[in-house]
């Protein structure tokens, strides 16, 4: 899927939301924007084309409680960012627990631009 053919509207993360590789514990980057179907990460290294990852990040739920979210993702595209040594990487969600879907949906509704 091209970054120009998104299925859902995306909301910009106005605060730093750090993302970790859930399998290795290594930092992956920070969320640039998020949708019900995927996310854009700003990464400090190139990500392999077509790669699969299990990622985790924290969002605040509808009750204002921070909640750790874990998602399975598939890399869709990447390109150098406007900061040297950084990359924009588009991921599509391929596995999200129902309770995490609810938290993401709530965050998207509360994060109006």
**Domain around 57:** 11-110
Is 5 contained in some domain?
no
The partner residues of 95 in beta bridges, in order of sequence, read: 72
Query: Is 108 strand, coil or helix?
Result: helix
Residue 3 placed within a domain:
no
CATH of the domain at 102: 2.40.10.220
Question: Which pTM does this prediction carry?
Answer: 0.87
Render pLDDT for 63-78 as a digit per residue (tens, 0 to 9).
889 999 999 999 999 9
Whether 33 is covered by a domain: the verdict is: yes
Place of tokens 């290294």: 45
Give pLDDT tens digits for 32-60. 999 999 999 999 899 999 999 999 999 98
- Counting the structural domains of the chain, the total is 1
């Amino acid at each position: 899927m091209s970054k120009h053919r998104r299925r859902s509207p995306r909301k910009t993360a106005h605060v730093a939301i750090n993302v970790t590789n859930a399998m290795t514990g290594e930092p992956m980057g920070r969320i640039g924007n998020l949708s019900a179907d995927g996310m854009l990460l700003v990464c400090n290294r190139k990500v392999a084309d077509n790669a699969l990852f299990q990622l985790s990040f924290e969002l605040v739920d509808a009750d204002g409680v921070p909640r750790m979210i874990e998602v399975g993702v598939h890399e869709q595209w990447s390109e150098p960012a406007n900061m040297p040594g950084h990359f924009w990487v588009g991921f599509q969600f391929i596995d999200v627990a129902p309770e995490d879907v609810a938290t993401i949906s709530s965050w998207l509704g509360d994060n109006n631009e």
